[in-house]
Amino acid sequence: MAELTYRDAVAAGIAQEMARDERVVFLGEDVGAAGGVFKATVGLLEKFGPKRVRDCPISEQAILGAAMGAAMTGLRPIAEIMFSDFLAVCWDIVANEIAKVRYMTNGQITLPLVIRTANGGDPASARSTRRRWRTGRWRCRASRWWHRLIPRT
């Protein structure tokens, strides 16, 4: 059995699904040329091209809105939000739109999409004395409990 880091396993899983199903698209901030915030999307742009791997502007609402619209039209988007803390600014789309659209349309519209994010923080970034800007205090919340309260469709 091959040994992989968690990051490599995530990257392999995304690439495998994109190779298996041409309807799978990937969108998020810095997911293309930069390879993602934790380098979990390195190589996807080169392998699948800019039509299926989309770098988006810094707008979590736009990323999830675009993913929702793409799913409504038959695509299977994977939307990456850099850190789970950033879901707070687009929680209305998650809780009141994505989670309810199947029920609001009496099953006529389904949304086969994935929202991928990093949860928790890097303890080293909070303790580091070498970094001028330590990001641990902003990007270390464990917001997974919010997610568990939303009904799944």
- When comparing pLDDT for 133 and 19, which is higher? 19
Specify the pTM.
Answer: 0.80
Q: Which residue has the higher pLDDT, 85 or 6?
A: 6
- List the chain domain ranges: 6-148
pLDDT, position 23: 98
Residue showing tokens 């309260």: 149
Q: What value does the mean pLDDT take over residues 47-58?
A: 95
- Which pLDDT score is estimated for 1? 78
Is residue 128 very low, low, confident or very high in pLDDT (cuts 50, 70, 90)?
A: very low
For domain 6-148, give the fold.
Rossmann fold (3.40.50)
Q: How far apart are CA 100 and CA 14, in angstroms?
A: 26
C-alpha distances out from residue 100 to 69, 95, 97, Å: 14, 7, 5
Query: Taking a C-beta distance cutoff of 8 angstroms, is the pair 115, 81 a contact?
Result: yes
Q: Are 128 and 134 in contact (CB under 8 A)?
A: yes
Does residue 3 have a pLDDT over 50? Answer: yes
Higher pLDDT, 47 or 147: 47
Per-residue pLDDT tens for 89-115?
Answer: 888 998 889 989 999 999 999 999 999
Residue 83 pairs in a beta bridge with 118
Whether 133 has a pLDDT exceeding 60, the answer reads no
Please provide the average confidence, as pLDDT, over all residues in the chain: 84
For residues 113 and 78, the answer to whether their CB atoms sit within 8 Å is yes
pLDDT given for residue 61 in this prediction: 95
Q: Which amino acid is at 134?
A: R
Residues 6+ apart with CB under 8 A from 45: 31, 32, 33, 53
Specify burial of residue 95 (Cβ count, 10 A radius: 0-12, 13-18, 19+): middle
